[in-house]
A and B are shown apart, each in its own frame.
Chain A
């Protein structure tokens, strides 16, 4: 299985901050990576697909980058609605695997 490692596990930030979450794959996954946002008690929602493509309806303050084994999700200016847990997921090889999650907290 491909291991996905996110960092940090927890991130404390303020409204208006620019934040970056990284995701590393244990082997190359080209650009077959998605980012999801999950709020407590809710299903995840798709933010970014194929590493850098913004899903329809997602605010442009979210962006994704990377290829191969190193990826990043950046939020350019944090809004109150962005405090949530974020997961990366590879869909290069079966079984599809997720990172352990990054909880974005209000500082």
Chain B
């Protein structure tokens, strides 16, 4: 059973850098796109971006100038950095697995990390 476990700082000040990591347990790392999604409290889902095991990335243009997603295949981990955060970046952040073979969609999700940006 594949599991995604995430960690990172939950409280940031404006202008700081959000940094989250997601570790993949119980499955292979290749053949998928590893994805970050966020959800402001009480609102809908926003796709942030994704990375595969080779390091190929795709980003949401609305965040692209501030986002970096990276991968560490030796640890089966992938990470999100979001620079210059503001209150608008306050949200629950999810990591998820997008299944490329068969183009299934995001079939495994992590639990979500609440990130609050406040001075």
Which residues from chain A sit less than 8 Å from chain B, CB to CB?
1, 32, 34, 36, 42-46, 49-50, 53, 55, 87, 89, 91, 94-101
Contacts and interface: CB of A to CB of B under 8 A. Distances in A.
Contacts of B45: 36, 44, 87, 89, 98, 101
* Chain A facing B: main interface SS: loop
A44 B104 contact: no
A17 B111 CA distance: 31
Contacts, number: 63
Given A44-B45, A44-B106, A95-B49, 6 more contacts: A34-B106, A36-B45, A46-B104, A50-B102, A101-B44, A101-B45
A42 to B, nearest CB: 8
B44 A50 contact: no
Nearest to B59: A95
B88 interface: no
